Copies of this chain bind each other. A is one copy, B any other.
Amino acid sequence: MITEKYSSKLLENAVNEFSRLPGIGKKTALRLVLYLLKKDESEVNSFCESITSLKKNIKYCKICHNISDTEICDICSQSNRHSGIICVVENIRDVMAIENTHQFIGLYHVLGGIISPMDGIGPSELEIDSLIKRVKEEKVSEIILALSTTMEGDTTNFYIYKKLKNFPVKISTLSRGVSIGDELEYTDEVTLGRSIRNRQDFENSITGI
């Protein structure tokens, strides 16, 4: 079934290119390519233009390394944010996810990935040195480690913790526990066990502080 035979080399080439994208198989790639093929040339051009111009003109914020159109990103240049609290995240999607909660008024630091020896990503590939530099040079009172709860995330957390533990800065991490709306019987054992050990004061939990 999977060894498709395409009626055109050009088509096959385009399908192969699209199927390299994450989560896109050959069938989906064919559907996308045929969709674009039906569109006007101007639409196809503006599709391609959008990605090449992004690639060519994109900037990364000099402070937090978030994707930005300017030297300093929107968040870092907002004067009403608390510059003493830095939330360390893996990538821009995490920044967006946290911003969407409207619960955080500090700044970010985008690592650009997490330590993953399997994928050949070591600490030097990530924006860890620049984080240390921020802690050294700016008045940072707290670093919130907000990485994935995976082995790679934990490794990265620990690496950063070791680098920062001698600085006068509080290092915290996102609270782990049962998701809001989850039923206990479907919560995995590790999460449930940890949420009992790290149980919260009830009054704090209802006020949400």
Contacts and interface: CB of A to CB of B under 8 A. Distances in A.
A45 B55 CA distance: 10
B45 A58 contact: no
A1 B99 CA distance: 10
A118 to B, nearest CB: 17
B58 A46 contact: no
Contact of A32 (B21, B48, B95): B21
Interface string A98-114: 01100000000000000
A66 B7 CA distance: 8
Contacts of A41: 55-56
Interface in A66-88: 66-69, 73-75
Contacts of A32: 21-22, 24
A16 to B, nearest CB: 8
A161 to B, nearest CB: 26
Given A47-B17, A48-B48, A8 B55 contact: no
- Size bracket of the A interface: 35 or more
A5 B55 contact: no
A20 B48 CA distance: 13
Contacts of A28: 23
Interface in A1-33: 1, 4-11, 13-14, 16-18, 20-24, 28, 30-33
Max chain B Cβ within 10 angstroms of own Cβ: one of A5, A53, A99: A5
5 contacts: A7-B95, A8-B54, A10-B69, A22-B31, A37-B67
